[in-house]
């Protein structure tokens, strides 16, 4: 198959969406398919801030002109204007369009799919209505409008892909998609890459004393990730076990506020902000920790959670969609109410019982094995093949293999 991926963010920007695109893209490429990525151009960044994929994620990446967002360092908004984008798809011989956003590039993807009479798949990565806190004062108005907008986009797509079964049911119920195919296909991970690591690397890098316990969170430092909750929980944890550290791997708009909160007397010196790590460094961080902790209430899957489990880390998480789909309570870790004291109790109970820690660790690895990137890519291919069944979407366009592609204005490789 020849697949065009449309996204509002891509490397060097760091996000779960980018990791998902790269993971599926690399697997599809190895399976013999062709993947072309259409996303924004980034400026004034000498090297990728995102962990570099170990395998090539696409045949080519086409960059649209974009506008940097002054209030959000490293993020740009693509300008999806090109009179020749349709011609480019024809020259590439694209057979299916896969949108990873319902917004800027997603709108372009929808328009091109309809003009080219191609099937459109849409992966619903995010609980979009939970992000309206970035527009202070407008949340009561924007939340229902966002739900209505995303519902409208889903109804115009030919296939909606949800990262977990619970999110699939949320999409069906909330958007009223009774007669629309919605498939749960999690983003898998190349589990073999997470099996080994240096258990002393993180401790040595951060100067954490031998014998102290380490909790790690990997993700974007945004308000919706509920990271402040982890700082509160750490205060409770240290009353029972003073020699415990919380390592926050990642960056984001909430970092300054979180650093201010971390100066509190009960956690000062025990919270470590690492910034963005490269992929191999993230793997080392997992292997250097005792537990993975996550308090997000808005996860659709929690890719970092799955990565941590593949590295053998048990999980303590707030019992919420996304995390609940990845972690079975009292099997690979513990799920708790959205209460810092209860969360702290779960962490302490595992750290004080080495046998339980070991048992959860082995089960976490086994769980991750069931969600390997190759297995999930095969499921995605199966879903795409259903879309390409003759007669379902009219005559397919542009099947000839391209030789040379002249890039239209506004697009760069």
- pLDDT tens digits along 229-238: 999 999 999 9
Q: Between the CA of residue 205 and those of 3, 52, 161, 209, 281, what are the distances in Å?
A: 41, 21, 39, 11, 11
- Split into its structural domains, the chain has a count of 2
Same domain (yes/no): 138, 247: no
Same domain (yes/no): 37, 165: yes
Confidence of residue 129 (pLDDT cuts 50, 70, 90): low
Same domain (yes/no): 100, 209: no
Residue from 295, 289, 305 nearest 232 by CA: 295
Same domain (yes/no): 50, 169: yes
Confidence of residue 71 (pLDDT cuts 50, 70, 90): low
Same domain (yes/no): 287, 338: yes
Confidence of residue 49 (pLDDT cuts 50, 70, 90): very low
Same domain (yes/no): 53, 182: yes
> What value does the mean pLDDT take over residues 39-50?
65
User: Could you say which of 353, 369, 385 is where a domain stops?
Assistant: 369
Which stretches of 297-387 are assigned E, i.e. beta strand? 315-318, 333-336
Eight-state DSSP code of residue 388: T
Percent of the chain having pLDDT more than 90?
A: 74
CA-CA-CA-CA dihedral for 165, 166, 172, 174, to nearest 10: -160
Same domain (yes/no): 201, 338: yes
Residue 134 reports pLDDT greater than 60: no
CB neighbours of residue 243 within 10 Å: 12
Print burial letters for 40-67: b (CB count within 10 Å at least 16), e (below 16): bbbeeeeebbbbebeeebbeebbbbbbe
Q: Identify the domain containing residue 179 by its residue range.
A: 2-188+372-412
Give the pLDDT score at 404.
44
Q: Residue written as tokens 């239209």?
A: 408
Instruction: Indicate which CATH number applies to the domain containing 110.
Output: 3.40.50.2000
Q: Between the CA of residue 250 and those of 7, 50, 73, 128, 304, what are the distances in Å?
A: 21, 10, 13, 21, 11
- pLDDT tens digits along 207-245: 999 999 999 999 989 888 999 999 999 999 999 999 999
- pLDDT tens digits along 75-112: 788 998 877 899 999 999 999 999 999 999 999 999 99
Give the pLDDT score at 302.
85
Same domain (yes/no): 233, 97: no
User: pTM of this prediction?
Assistant: 0.80
Same domain (yes/no): 350, 394: no
Confidence of residue 413 (pLDDT cuts 50, 70, 90): low
For residue 201, the SS3 value is: helix
Same domain (yes/no): 167, 21: yes
Cα gap 31→259, rounded to integer Å = 44
Same domain (yes/no): 159, 203: no
**Torsion sign across C-alpha atoms 80, 83, 87, 92:** negative
Same domain (yes/no): 184, 196: no
Vertex 215 angle, CA 54 and 219, to 5°? 45
């Amino acid at each position: 198959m020849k697949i065009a991926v449309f996204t509002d963010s891509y490397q060097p920007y760091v996000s779960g969406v980018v990791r998902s695109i790269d993971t599926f893209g690399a697997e599809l490429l190895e399976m013999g398919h062709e993947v072309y990525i259409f996303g924004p151009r980034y400026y004034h960044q000498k090297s990728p801030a995102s962990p570099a994929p170990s395998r090539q994620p696409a045949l080519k990446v086409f960059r649209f002109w974009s506008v940097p967002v002054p209030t959000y360092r490293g993020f740009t908004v693509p300008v999806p204007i090109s009179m020749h984008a349709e011609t480019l798809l024809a020259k590439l011989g694209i057979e299916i369009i896969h949108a990873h956003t319902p917004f800027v590039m997603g709108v372009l993807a929808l328009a091109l799919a309809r003009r080219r009479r191609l099937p459109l798949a849409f992966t619903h990565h995010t609980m979009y209505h939970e992000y309206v806190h970035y527009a202070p004062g407008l949340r009561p108005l924007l939340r229902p409008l966002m739900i209505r907008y995303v519902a409208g986009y889903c109804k115009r797509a030919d296939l909606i892909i949800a990262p977990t079964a619970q999110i699939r049911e949320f999409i069906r119920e909330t958007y009223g998609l009774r007669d629309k195919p919605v498939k749960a296909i999690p983003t898998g991970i190349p589990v073999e890459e997470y099996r080994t690591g240096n258990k002393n690397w993180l401790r040595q890098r951060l100067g954490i004393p031998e014998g102290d316990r380490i909790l790690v969170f990997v993700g974007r430092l945004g308000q919706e990730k509920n990271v402040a909750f982890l700082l509160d929980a750490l205060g409770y944890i240290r009353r029972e076990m003073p020699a415990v550290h919380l390592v926050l791997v990642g960056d984001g708009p909430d970092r300054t506020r979180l650093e201010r909160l971390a100066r509190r007397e009960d956690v000062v010196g025990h919270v470590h902000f690492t910034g963005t790590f490269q992929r191999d460094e993230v793997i080392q961080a997992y292997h250097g920790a005792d537990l993975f902790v996550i308090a997000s209430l808005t996860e659709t899957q929690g890719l970092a959670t799955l990565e941590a489990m593949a590295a053998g880390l048990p999980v303590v998480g707030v019992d919420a969609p996304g995390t609940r789909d990845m972690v079975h309570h009292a099997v690979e870790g513990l799920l708790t109410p959205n209460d810092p004291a209860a969360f702290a109790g779960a962490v302490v109970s595992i750290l004080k019982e080495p046998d339980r820690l070991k048992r959860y660790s082995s089960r976490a690895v086994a769980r991750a094995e069931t969600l390997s990137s190759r297995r999930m890519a095969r499921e995605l291919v199966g879903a795409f093949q259903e879309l390409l069944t003759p007669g379902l979407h009219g005559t397919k366009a542009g099947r000839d293999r391209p030789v040379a592609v002249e890039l239209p204005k506004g697009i760069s490789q």
